[in-house]
Amino acid sequence: MTDLGLVPRPVSIRQTDGAFTVGQATTVVVDPRPDLIATGVLAADLLGRVTGRLVEVRYSDEDTEPRDVVRLRLAGDDDELLPGDEAYRLDVARTRVDLLARSTAGLIHAVVTLRQLMTEAADGSWSAPCVHVDDAPRFAWRGLSVDVARHFLGLDALKVVVGLMAHYKLNVLHLHLTDDQGWRLHVPSRPHLARTSSGTAVGGGPGGHYSPSDYADLVHYAAARGIVVVPEIDVPGHVNAATHAYGELNPDGVPTPEYTGIEVGFSRLHADLPATAPFLQAVFTDVAAMTPGEYVHIGGDEVLTMAHDEYATLVGLAAGAVRAAGKKVVGWQEIATVPLEPGTVVQYWDTRADPAPFVAAARAGALLLMSPGSKAYLDMKYDEHTELGLEWAGHIDLRDAYDWEPTTLIEGVPPEAVLGVEAAVWTETIRDLDELTSMLLPRLAAVAEVAWTPPEVRDWADFRERVAAHGPFWDRVGFRWHATRQVDWP
């Protein structure tokens, strides 16, 4: 198990003798169905990149050529797979590789597992050991939240992050698109948001924003890799970029000055201003329209200068607009203090705060997303020597990010209310993709295993051995990463 280096660890894996070697003639074969084309191309592209060969894709519903194929198939009723939409089976034999799943998302997981199994021999050929893998995720929501507001990350960089997420079987990219320091998504009905407030970033960085077509490009790129994008428009605090663009959102009618510091909690909307409700309605309606996924995140965190009634009114307006547009609401843990529709997703983060409202919300029908600051906030420093990052939730070395159990972390939470796990990376101190990956790697791999692998087969000693093989992979791909001394890297 250990020596195969799979992260996250699959539910079950059996190794047999021999290996499959990718040769000149190896092709990817898929059923002739339009929804499998993109997945087949992705598989061929990944195999081609690993091996440096051009791998072709063919469509066929027969298996007349049993040799030298990597066969992707959607399961029928009599195929045996673990339960769930994302389950997959991977069979690597000496002559061929079979990937079976109920969905393209499941097939992508199988492709990723195959890719992680491939190693290069001394003669430059690439092989995967013969294995039988049966696998499925523990949690439905396995996310990464990226703050593109404090520092902007361009579309190309975000696509690299999407690829990295797919490599660890994560399936939700949560984008923190707005904050005091910048507004990063053009919203057609409020054009001044991006026009006036996207050119700033923490410390006077260059800023930037996504046009609707950039955003659609990202959403589709992610979807092809089994990843859904959840946009966050953070209200009713963290709104200086909005109040800078639209003075009507302020009691004196005057735009607030731009902000490039890193304090939190000072900016706010006002429930009693006539512009406020139409603003929330328009923005969330537009953002929902750009979102093929089921969820829109309304923020709701760190509103430090508002009476609770007004907070509840504003959260209610934002949530109402999201629901009216046919989407489900996600919010940070603070929204647990207001009445929520059942099925609302509440995201736990603040390990310093009293969890009682959060527990009560879960008991009343909310779903819980676990992003504990002290485990899953990958902008925390690894240790006191880490150059980048913050420290408010403590230091998070690899083992801290690995050794925790989402269903028992908070006493009194019903385990079945836990929808999933999400890592988060805030970018007050992080300026570009290299700095970002230096904080994500290796810890993102740890959080991904917490989210994917059942607790019975999850084990730190085993993980630290498996993850060691990923260092050379990150080097090969060109990711900057942190070589924590908790692992004996090769």
Residues known to be catalytic = 302
Strands (E) located in 177-294: 178-179, 182-183, 228-235
Does position 377 bind ligand TNX by CB under 6 A? yes
Nearer to ligand TNX, 117 or 329 (CB): 329
Q: Which is nearer to ligand TNX, 378 or 450 (CB)?
A: 378
CB of 337 to ligand TNX, least distance (A): 14
Coil/strand/helix, residue 195? helix
Helices vs. strands in the chain: H and E counts, helices first: 15, 18
Q: Tokens for 134, please give them.
A: 């049966």
For the packed helices 460-468 and 443-452, what is the interaxial angle rounded to 10 degrees? 130
Among positions 156-175, residues that touch ligand TNX (CB under 6 A) are none
CB-CB contact of 267 with 346 (8 Å): no
Contact between 148 and 427 under an 8 Å Cβ cutoff? The reply is yes
Token pair 């673990």 is found at 82
From the list 31, 65, 98, 302, which residue makes contact with ligand TNX (rule: CB under 6 A)? 302
Q: How far apart are CA 138 and CA 406, in angstroms?
A: 11
Question: Which phi and psi (to 5°) does residue 89 adopt?
Answer: -130, 140
Nearest distance, CB of residue 359 and ligand TNX, angstroms? 18
- Interface pattern 91-130 for ligand TNX (x via CB under 6 A): ----------------------------------------
Closest approach, Cβ 302 to ligand TNX, in A, equals 5
User: Least CB distance from residue 133 to ligand TNX, whole Å?
Assistant: 36
**One symbol per residue from 6 to 45: x for binding ligand TNX (CB under 6 A), - otherwise; what is it?**
----------------------------------------
If the CB atoms of residues 265 and 320 are measured against ligand TNX, the closer one turns out to be 265
Answer for which of 152, 168, 332, 358 binds ligand TNX (CB under 6 A) is: 332
What is the residue-wise DSSP string for 338-397? S---TT-EEEE--TTS--HHHHHHHHTT-EEEE--HHHHBTTB-SSTT-SS-B-TT----
Helices 470-477 and 460-468, packing angle to 10 deg: 40
From candidates 264, 282, 325, 477, binder to ligand TNX by CB under 6 A: 264
> Cβ 219 to ligand TNX, closest distance in Å?
23
Residue placing its CB nearer to ligand TNX in the complex, 45 or 302: 302
**How many angstroms separate the most distant Cα atoms in the chain?**
75
Q: Assess 258 for contact with ligand TNX (CB under 6 A).
A: no
Instruction: Compare residues 289 and 388 and give the one whose CB is closer to ligand TNX.
Output: 388
Select 377 or 481, whichever has its Cβ closest to ligand TNX. 377
Q: Closest distance between ligand TNX and the C-beta of residue 304, in Å?
A: 11
* Interface residue with ligand TNX, options 379, 397, 400, 435 (CB under 6 A): 379
Closest-CA residue to 28 (of 81, 65, 77): 65
Q: Using CB under 6 A, pick the residue from 284, 426, 452, 481 that binds ligand TNX.
A: 426
Q: At what angle do helices 276-289 and 308-324 cross, to 10 degrees?
A: 40
Rounded Cα–Cα distance for residues 490 and 472 (Å) = 8
Three-state secondary structure call for residue 196: helix
Q: Which of 134, 258, 301, 397 binds ligand TNX (CB under 6 A)?
A: 301
Q: 426 or 463, CB closer to ligand TNX?
A: 426
What CA–CA distances, in Å, run from 442 to 113, 296, 387? 18, 28, 16
CA distance 274 to 277: 7
Which C-beta is closer to ligand TNX: that of 96 or that of 268? Answer: 268
Size of the site for ligand TNX (CB under 6 A): 10
Binding mask 336-375 for ligand TNX (x = CB under 6 A): -------------x--------------------------
Instruction: Give the residue with the Cβ less far from ligand TNX, 301 or 449.
Output: 301
- To the nearest 10 degrees (0 to 180), the angle between helices 433-440 and 443-452 is 50
Measured CA distances, 94 to 72, 124, 152 (Å):
17, 18, 47
**Residue from 82, 390, 417, 477 in contact with ligand TNX (CB under 6 A):** 390
| CB 422 to ligand TNX: min, Å | 11
- Least spacing, CB of residue 266 vs ligand TNX, in Å: 12
Minimum Å distance from CB 271 to ligand TNX? 21
Q: Residues 56-95 vs ligand TNX: string with x where CB under 6 A?
A: ----------------------------------------
CA torsion, points 455, 137, 222, 80, in degrees to nearest 10?
160
Give the Cα separation of 362 and 420 in Å (integer): 13
Site residues for ligand TNX, 187-246, by CB under 6 A, read: none
Sorted by sequence, the CB contacts under 8 Å of residue 445 that are 6+ apart come out as 7, 8, 168, 467, 470
Q: Which residues contribute to the site for ligand TNX (CB under 6 A)?
A: 264, 301-302, 332, 349, 377, 379, 390, 426, 428
